[in-house]
Amino acid sequence: MKRIALIAHDEKKSVMIEFAKKNRDLLRECDLVATGTTGKLINEEVGLPVERMESGPLGGDQMIGAEIAKERVDGVIFLRDPLTAQPHEPDITALLRVCDVHNTPLATNVATADIILHGIIEKE
């Protein structure tokens, strides 16, 4: 089963929930891992099981980065807010670097998230 990491800045959490609802059937075919609050929302509002790491400000994005480095993640969806991200929110730079090093696809918006999700599932 493919493992997908989900991360969303505060202003993009509602977009992540809508993405998860729209793609519920595909996401059910994956093991999901997420930062704390994002994972909690996906579990509660979409009904999908999610392995929750710490929240972003407590290092959850770095924990996901470690999973990528161990090659335990097949794709990352990080819906970031490029205009109003807050200092406490996860920084994409480190995740982007580790994804590039390990050739792991990373999406930063819904358009690329759709492509990655469909590509990973259909590739199986």
75 is in an annotated binding site: no
Residue 56 is assigned to a ligand binding site: yes
Among 10, 25, 31, 61, the one annotated catalytic:
61
Tell whether 38 is in a known binding site.
Answer: yes
Q: Catalytic: 61?
A: yes
Q: Please choose, from the candidates 8, 92, 82, 90, the residue with its C-alpha nearest in 3D space to the C-alpha of residue 50.
A: 8
The reply to whether 102 sits in an annotated binding site is no
Q: Which residues contact 117 (CB under 8 A, 6 or more apart)?
A: 4, 23, 26, 27, 75, 77
Q: How many CB atoms lie within 10 A of CB 24?
A: 13
Residue 88, annotated as binding a ligand:
yes
Residues in binding site:
9, 13, 35-38, 55-56, 88
Residues in binding site for substrate:
9, 13, 35-38, 55-56, 88
> Which residues are the active-site residues?
61
